[in-house]
Amino acid sequence: MVASKELHGNMKSSQMNVMVKCTYRHYILTYRIRLIVFLKSLIDKQQALMYIINIDKQMELVMPVKLNDILERSSLNEEEKTRGMKASGNDFKSIRHINNYVVPMLSKAGQQNTFNNIKKFDVSANKRVAQNGPQMGQSHNLHIPFNGHAAGTAIKIKHVFHDKATNTFHAATEKHGDIPLSKIRVPQSLAKKNITETGFNVERTISHNLGTAPAGSSTKGFDYSKRFDNKHHLKGVVNHPEKEDKETYSHGDLKGESKLLKGNFGTSAVVHNKQTKTWSMTNEKMKSKFGEATHPTSGLPLLAHLNKYHANGKINNGFQMKPAQGTAMHYLKTSGVNSLHAHEIVHEKVKNAEGKKEKTGKIIKDVGTTYTFGRNNPLNGKSRLAHLHDSEIHKIDGALKIEATKNGTTRVSHSPNQAHMKNLANRSVTHPENHRSLYIKDHAHEFIKHVSQHLAKKPIREERLPRFAEAFMST
């Protein structure tokens, strides 16, 4: 059986409709085939659809069925929607999880015990004042089965302590003994959206406008991309950058990096060696450039400064350094991209009962601008996108931030210049005559049209498609 297909996508917030048209060649099928295709990589888990395609010799039927109704009856769906807390003493996120997800649910005594137990890891613990948490008395739940108790079991935490033998944080509970934090689920009432989720939504929109799929958290693909090489593109077939190596892209293809105003242009873990009493960075791509930054007081390069003044593996107070010129450019080049999308999203804020401003779900500003950059960029002048010269990229350099640590493991991150990023993000609005945004569907289609006219060696044409099942698995 040889089948050809056309995919027509019209993504909305609640559903995605995909019409699959199948035709027969060579012979007539005498039996019915039912094929179930789960398009997990195309759409959000909460919007997942199951497509049941019934084919016989007389009719073609496409019947979408909402998968949520099925998955909600499965414990797997619950596990996918939740995550466990960090517990390692070597992971700086563990302290953050304790403060965000456990402390608000503890009594005053429980908070004080916790602060005393984590003060070697949390430089602010001694300064904090214990009080009854706003959600005191509420239960946590096991993320995975532990010590004979099933996943989802309700537990009440009394306080948190550090187990030296395993270098992990544990929760002392009222009735279930001591449990590693990694076995305990992040409470839904306190769970914060992943800080990268908003950024992923921007990437998804751009990619959808381009007719592709974003790489998401994968390191194999790009935030957004578009192939213009006929060898790798079939008409009507969505390509998936997250499943493809960056090296397979051609020089003339679009390879993009998307950043919100506060999105880091490079990060690296910084680890202390107790034997040699020296520090090192783990990010092979960024450590050389980060290492060029000098401390404003000592005048020493980053690692030399840490080795001299923090040889014991402790940094009581985090600090900032001016990055070496070209740090942002180095990050972009080592990421293998030729396009940058700067984006600003502003949420409405209202005062809570304590008088503090909190974000609501309402977005009051959502704007971005897409650029090409770099010398010898084949898209420059052929795509309707504005081009950033090196001097503009260098203005993105902001500050290197080194976080405090008590356990010899921390992080250095390159935070961009906020004013310049804001300026870059808003140019599609402030100067629309010569700036475009692939976040806008019409601009994306305009981009594809212009690049295709300039770069495509020959028109994309219909080619013989793979076998029916293989074609679906590749989409």
What count of other Cβ atoms lies within 10 Å of the Cβ of residue 252? 18
Backbone angle region of 12, left / alpha / beta, with phi > 0 → left and psi within -120 to 50 → alpha:
beta
pTM score of the predicted model: 0.61
Last residue of a domain, one of 80, 112, 139: 80
Residues 207 and 346 both lie in one domain: yes
**Confidence at residue 219, expressed as pLDDT on a 0 to 100 scale:** 55
Tally the domains of the chain: 3
Are 171 and 240 found together in one domain?
no
Digitized pLDDT (tens) for each residue of the chain, 475 residues in all: 333 333 333 444 333 333 333 333 333 333 333 333 343 434 344 333 333 333 333 333 333 333 333 333 333 333 334 578 988 887 778 888 998 899 999 999 999 999 999 988 887 787 888 888 888 888 899 999 999 999 999 999 999 999 999 999 999 999 999 999 999 998 877 765 444 456 678 999 999 999 987 765 555 679 999 988 544 443 333 444 444 556 667 778 899 999 999 999 999 999 999 999 999 999 999 999 999 999 999 999 999 999 999 999 999 889 999 999 999 999 999 999 999 999 999 988 888 766 778 777 788 999 999 999 998 898 998 889 999 999 999 999 999 999 998 888 899 999 999 999 999 999 999 999 999 999 999 999 999 998 888 765 444 333 333 343 343 333 3
Domain presence at residue 86: no
Q: Is residue 88 part of a domain?
A: no
Contacts 24+ apart (CB under 8 A), 189-198: 189/135, 189/138, 190/100, 190/101, 190/104, 190/105, 190/135, 191/101, 192/100, 198/260, 198/345
Do 41 and 107 belong to one domain?
no
Assess whether 144 and 265 both reside in one domain: no
Q: Are residues 322 and 406 in the same domain?
A: yes
Same domain for 75 and 109, yes or no, is: no
| Residue whose C-alpha is closest to residue 373's, from 216, 255, 262, 228 | 255
pLDDT of the residue at 34: 39
Which DSSP string corresponds to 72-118?
A: TTSHHHHHHT--BPP-BTT-THHHHHIIIIIGGGS-HHHHHHHHHHH
Domain check: are 161 and 269 in the same one?
A: no
| Residue 26 lies inside a defined structural domain of this protein | yes
Polymer length of the chain: 475
pLDDT for the residue 465: 34
354 plus 416 within the same structural domain: yes
pLDDT at residue number 63: 32
Range of the domain at 106: 93-183
Q: Is residue 87 part of a domain?
A: no
DSSP annotation string for 286-329: THHHHTT-B-TTT--BHHHHHHHH-TTS-BSS-EEEPPPTTHHH
SS3 407: coil
